[in-house]
């Protein structure tokens, strides 16, 4: 499956459907707290980064989950 220009919730739904269990760090544009809670509920995203704060938070956040020996799946833009 190719995931192109979808929402964080669509990625998480795809992950669950396909049986993947990798952590998702969602980078989003200005979601309100209710939308953020929805993306993170039920084993969804492990963390949310608002796009304006991406420069400050991305490396630290990914570092918490990306460890040697873990597989990373990169989806095309």
C-alpha span between 50 and 43 (Å, rounded) = 19
Residue 38: pLDDT band (50, 70, 90) is confident
- Whole-model pTM: value is 0.57
Greatest Cα pair distance in the chain: 35
Does residue 34 have a pLDDT over 80? Answer: yes
* Confidence (pLDDT) at 1: 46
| Backbone dihedral angles phi then psi of residue 16, each to the nearest 5 degrees | -65, -45
C-alpha span between 8 and 3 (Å, rounded) = 10
Average pLDDT over residues 23-38: 79
Residue 75: pLDDT band (50, 70, 90) is low
């Amino acid at each position: 499956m190719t995931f192109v220009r979808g929402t964080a919730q669509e990625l998480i739904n795809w992950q669950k459907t396909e049986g993947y269990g990798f952590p998702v760090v969602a980078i989003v544009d200005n979601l309100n707290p209710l939308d953020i809670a929805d993306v993170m509920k039920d084993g969804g995203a492990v963390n949310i980064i608002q796009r304006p704060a991406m420069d400050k938070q991305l490396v630290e956040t990914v570092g918490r989950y990306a460890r040697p020996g873990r597989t990373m799946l990169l989806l095309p833009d």
